[in-house]
């Protein structure tokens, strides 16, 4: 097809991201902490209370948005 390899990497990244996002549920979607698989694992392995898990769940969005912005900046430059 004559397309640069970076386009394939970008498309593969989108598909992997979409398939892995079912592990992470964002608070903006109206979901609660019980619908996130990662939060369930943290509750069971680390012995977190439901209040502690809800705090982690709320801060999860901030961390992911900062990482997403850094990824876009790195991709552009």
**Among residues of the chain, what percentage have pLDDT more than 70?**
74
* 49-63 average pLDDT score: 76
State whether residue 2 is helix, strand or coil: coil
Place of tokens 């900046």: 73
Residue matched to tokens 């997403």:
68
Task: Please enumerate in sequence order all residues whose Cβ is within 8 A of that of 34, keeping only pairs 6 or more positions apart, or say none.
Answer: 40
Quick check: 35 pLDDT over 70?
A: no
Name the residue with tokens 């990824």: 71
Element (H, E) at 25: none
Confidence of residue 18 (pLDDT cuts 50, 70, 90): low
Is residue 66 within 8 Å of residue 60, measured between CB atoms? no
Q: What is the pLDDT of residue 26?
A: 57
The structural domains of the chain, with segments of one domain joined by +, span: 30-77
């Amino acid at each position: 097809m004559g397309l640069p390899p970076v386009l394939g990497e970008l498309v593969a990244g989108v598909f992997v991201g979409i398939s892995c996002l079912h592990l992470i549920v964002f608070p903006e979607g109206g979901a609660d902490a019980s619908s996130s698989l990662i939060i369930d694992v943290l509750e069971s392995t680390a012995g977190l209370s439901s209040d502690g898990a809800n705090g982690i769940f709320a801060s999860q969005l901030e961390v992911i948005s900062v990482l997403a912005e850094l990824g876009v900046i790195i991709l552009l430059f």
